[in-house]
Amino acid sequence: MKLKRYIEEHKNQKFDLIIIGGGITGAAVAYSASSRGLKVALFEKKDYGGATSAATSKLIHGGLRYLANMEFKLVRESLQERRILGNIAPNFVYPLPFMFPNYIKWKGNMWKMKLGMFLYDLLSYDKKYTWDKSKRLPNHKTLSYNKTIEVEGNVIKDKLRNSTVFYDYQSIFPERLTLAFIKSAFEYGAKVSNYSLVENFSFGKANEINGVIVKDIFSGDTKTIHAPLTVNCGGTWADLILNLALDKKSCHKVRRSEGIHIITKKIAGDHVISLQKKEGGHMMIMPWRGHSLIGTTDKEYNGAPDNYKVSKQSLYEIIDAVNNNYGKKISYDDIIHAYGGLRPLVDDQTEGSYNTSRRYEVLDNAAEGIEGLITVEGGKYTTSRGLAYHVTELIQKKINKKLNKSFSYKLYLAGCEIKDMKEFLRRQHLQYDDFFGFDTVEYISRNYGTQSHTVFQIAQENSEYADVVSHDGELLSEVVYAIKHESAMTLKDILLRRTGIGTLGKPKEEILQKVIKIASEMLNWNEDRKQEEYNSIIELYTLPS
């Protein structure tokens, strides 16, 4: 399967549905709608899963802290979707233990912790009903002081009482999981296109939207794509997109919350250490690819979303949170890589973005006098598949057409058709260990699933592409695969969203130049474009001063 940019081959096709936005929400809606029989076109102004969907803590979770707001329905939905994602994307989603160190000074909160853990287990009553038994999650447990220190020796020991351990899932590569939804939609006939900016809407009679005007970022060509219904899945940009259709400002303004993460050398064990900050809120130290992923911040952002950048102040807030609440100290120089993004929040939620839930709203903009447009606001990564189902149900009503039954909850995503991960990996090692290192087979098998055979084949056919380019065994053949099969168009696409070569910080210069050489040859970059791509990567890895 080769993912193609529809904007390059548009031939005046008519669609049932246009989707604006190629993050996890738009990708999931495209999959849901196309799998139920609709002709779908999706346009993303940059790269698939390149904004909010990439700036995550890499967790698929139920939202334990939402219990404090009595949001039982949201938590139950999240836990159900957690299990479904573990089923339909088994190579991306894995059980992960979380630890809450409990201190004597929290004496008044211990009963809340115990009640919360009990409710979390109760609301996830079906968590053991997984297709692959390796995805089953146990109930929470309490570890003694000594056992806590034994498994996580860097927690602060002063006044430590014990710890509570529970389980959620980790998504090892959220950007590729988002891409799996895009690929699944593509397999059902959806036309998708990254680097395709929706500049405006096309109108029929009165204020009825009948399509969008799209600009190809690379060629500059502008095309009009028609459909009777458009879904605005712009996430952080949803209100700005809506304003294109309205003479007045939308009354559904998206609030934006900043979330920043840093990556350091490993400073904790194999648990996610959840730290209760003295000033309120939580901070997590998470294991990821042999490093520690630390985050996230959660504070309101009021600027223009296109102007957002990670600030030095925000990075120091993370450092201070670790140093004030954890036994292993870190400094600014310990940051290997930092990334941030903006989360969309529904406008009428509680004051303070940390206490705000991640619920979503699906809005029929006919209420504002704009026919032919649906806007999705809020939401979180874990519940995106379920959100897409509800959006498709509204679409069915709007177009007055009976759609095929939904089955996205019981079919594997593209490349994820694996019934038993342990058996799959065993077969992969038997087939490829004679050609590649153990770590290489593990990494590529997990991140490419059943499509990994093509990645291995590219390396076997050309020894140049068999070069190992990361500490956990990635191959240059992934770069070729990303461009040839996955619509990667820029160096950032390749390094951050198709491969993991650049997700742990700036690659060695030698490796970076090898990637640029392959990309420039396959994508026909001239010297100016090569320099532009290189400069963008150097800027990305330069921490704010």
Question: For the segment 153-198, what is each residue's pLDDT rounded down to a tens digit?
Answer: 999 999 999 999 999 999 999 999 999 999 999 999 999 999 999 9
Q: Determine the Cα–Cα distance for residues 451 and 415; give it in Å rounded to an integer.
A: 5
pLDDT for 213 beyond 60: yes
Element (H, E) at 443: helix 438-448
Mean pLDDT, residues 218-222? 96
Q: What do you get for the CA distance between the two ends of the chain, in Å?
A: 44
- The pLDDT value given to residue 246: 81
Mean of all residue pLDDT scores within the chain: 93
CATH class of the region 89-172+256-349: alpha beta
pLDDT tens digits for range 405-443: 999 999 999 999 999 999 999 999 999 999 999 999 999
pLDDT of res. 503: 97
Mean pLDDT of 235-244: 91
Q: How many CB atoms lie within 10 A of CB 109?
A: 13
The pair of structure tokens assigned to 356 is 């705000």
Which tops the pLDDT comparison, 496 or 278? Answer: 496
Which of 304-313, 351-360, 473-482, 488-497 shows the lowest mean pLDDT across its residues? Answer: 351-360
- CA angle, residues 293, 298, 299, in degrees to nearest 5: 145
Residue with tokens 């990667």: 488
Which CATH code is given to the segment(s) 421-541?
A: 1.10.8.870
Indicate whether 497 pLDDT > 50. Answer: yes
- Does residue 469 surpass a pLDDT of 60? yes
d(CA 30, CA 392): 9
Residue 225 has a pLDDT of: 97
Does the pLDDT of residue 109 top 80, yes or no? Answer: no
3-state secondary structure of 432: helix
Per-residue model confidence (pLDDT) at position 534: 98
User: Sign of the CA dihedral 341, 346, 349, 351?
Assistant: positive
- Report how far residue 5's alpha carbon sits from residue 480's, in angstroms, rounded to the nearest whole number: 17
| DSSP tally for the chain: helices H, then strands E | 15, 19
| Tokens describing residue 132 | 């692959």
Residue 277 CB burial class (10 angstroms; 0-12, 13-18, ≥19): middle
pLDDT at 315: 96
Output the pLDDT for position 351. 45
Is the domain spanning 6-52+175-254+358-399 CATH 3.50.50.60? The answer is yes
d(Cα 183, Cα 453) in Å, to the nearest integer? 17
**Which residues make Cβ contacts (< 8 Å) with residue 482, sequence separation at least 6?**
488, 493, 494, 498, 499
CB atoms under 10 Å from CB of 395, counted, come to 23
| Exposure on the CB side of residue 76, measured as CA atoms within 13 A | 8
Distance CA 517, CA 104 (A): 58
Where do the structural domains in the chain lie, given as residue ranges? 6-52+175-254+358-399, 89-172+256-349, 421-541
Per-residue pLDDT tens digits for 110-151:
778 889 999 999 999 999 999 999 999 999 999 999 999 999
83-87, 251-255, 302-306: which range is least confident on average?
251-255
Q: Which long-range contacts (CB under 8 A, 24 or more apart) does 311-317 make?
A: 311/544, 312/543, 312/544, 312/545, 314/258, 314/260, 314/340, 315/260, 315/262, 315/543, 315/544
pLDDT of residue 498: 98
SS3 79: helix
If you write DSSP's letter for every residue of 477-494 in order, what string do you get? HHHHHHHHHS---SHHII
